[in-house]
């Protein structure tokens, strides 16, 4: 079936699943997300960033050793991108400093410098996978992973009862929420990840709904990579059992 037709069919279903109070009228686009600063740039010229608010993206490294003493408290933790590492002060909710090493994370905060000249970040806002994905989506992906690893008929029936599509266990249908309609470059980036987006299913922000969304089919092993994209606001499952409305 042609993808444009699939997108239109999904769009109709999406309108039924998530009706918008103001219909599908175009809302004023929200401001673009803050630019991402390289950790390497901060380390090369720390005084140029001292006292400035920056946003960095990388992997949570918890309490990994070998990077010198923490700058403020013993609970300070490390974030690392391709260009280097940086200590962050203020504990990220929901992350274990040992078990969650390697999780994608985005941190916005104030750059400070220790007496020894080492830069660190005083976190003001922290985003992790948990912040960007609904609990139901995470549950459904866990069920898919367990069913692939050790299939049971009971779990398969549980998945079907939730409204999950079970013909392809490695693929999850999702709603991708964004502040504004995805660009051609973003669609290309999603497709390069192996995700199948349906651009014609786009529903723009309206009324009390600050984000719009499109429908996409995502390989379940791409969740971490997808939540790490700055333009992704929220992810939710598009696989649910709908209940009829009653008076």
Which of these three, 84, 104, 127, is where a domain ends?
127
Residue pLDDT, tens place only, 104-113: 888 999 999 9
Note whether 119 and 95 are same-domain residues.
yes
The predicted pLDDT at position 97 comes to: 82
User: What residues contact 220, with CB distance under 8 A and at least 6 apart?
Assistant: 141, 144, 145, 170, 171, 172
pLDDT by 10-residue block (mean), the chain, 247 residues: 53 49 43 75 95 92 84 90 92 72 87 94 81 85 92 94 94 96 96 96 91 96 87 92 56
Phi, psi angles (nearest 5°) of residue 121? -115, 125
For residue 77, the cross-strand partners are: 88
Domain end marker among 104, 127, 150:
127
What is the spatial distance between Cα 227 and Cα 196, in angstroms, rounded to a whole number? 16
DSSP conformation class of 36: B
For tokens 């969650």, the residue is 100
Show which of 81, 99, 127 is a domain's final residue.
Answer: 127
Tell me what pLDDT residue 92 has.
Answer: 65
Q: Is 155 helix (H, G, I), strand (E, B) or coil?
A: helix
170 and 213 part of one domain: yes
Task: Give me the domain span that covers residue 96.
Answer: 39-127
Domain tally for the chain? 2
Domain of 75, CATH number, reads 2.40.50.140
pLDDT tens per residue, range 159-215: 999 999 999 999 999 999 999 999 999 999 999 999 999 999 999 999 888 899 999
Query: 114 with 170, same domain?
Result: no
For the chain, give the percent of residues with pLDDT over 70. 81
Alpha carbon distance 13, 159 (integer Å)? 20
- Mean pLDDT over all residues of the chain? 84
Do 115 and 158 lie in a common domain? no
């Amino acid at each position: 079936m042609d993808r444009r037709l699939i997108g239109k069919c999904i769009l109709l279903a999406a309108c039924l699943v998530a009706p918008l109070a103001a219909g599908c009228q175009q809302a004023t686009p929200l401001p673009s997300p803050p630019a991402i600063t390289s950790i390497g740039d901060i380390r090369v010229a720390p005084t140029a960033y001292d006292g400035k608010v920056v946003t960095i993206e990388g992997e949570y490294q918890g309490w990994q050793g070998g990077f010198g003493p923490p700058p403020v408290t013993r609970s300070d933790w490390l974030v690392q991108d391709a260009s280097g590492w940086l200590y962050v002060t203020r504990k990220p909710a929901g992350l274990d400093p040992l078990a969650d090493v390697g999780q994608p994370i985005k941190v916005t905060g104030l750059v400070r410098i220790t007496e020894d000249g080492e830069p660190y970040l005083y976190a003001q806002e922290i985003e992790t996978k948990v912040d960007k994905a609904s609990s139901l989506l995470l549950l459904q992906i866990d069920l898919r992973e367990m069913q692939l690893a050790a299939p049971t008929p009971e779990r398969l029936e549980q998945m079907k009862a939730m409204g999950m599509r079970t013909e392809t266990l490695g693929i999850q249908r999702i709603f991708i929420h964004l502040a504004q309609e995805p660009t051609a470059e973003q669609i290309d980036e999603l497709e390069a990840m192996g995700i199948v987006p349906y651009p014609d299913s786009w529903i723009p922000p309206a009324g009390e709904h600050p984000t719009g969304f499109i429908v996409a089919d995502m390989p379940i092993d791409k969740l971490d990579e997808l939540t790490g994209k700055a333009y992704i606001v929220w992810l939710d499952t598009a696989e649910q059992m709908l209940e009829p409305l009653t008076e």
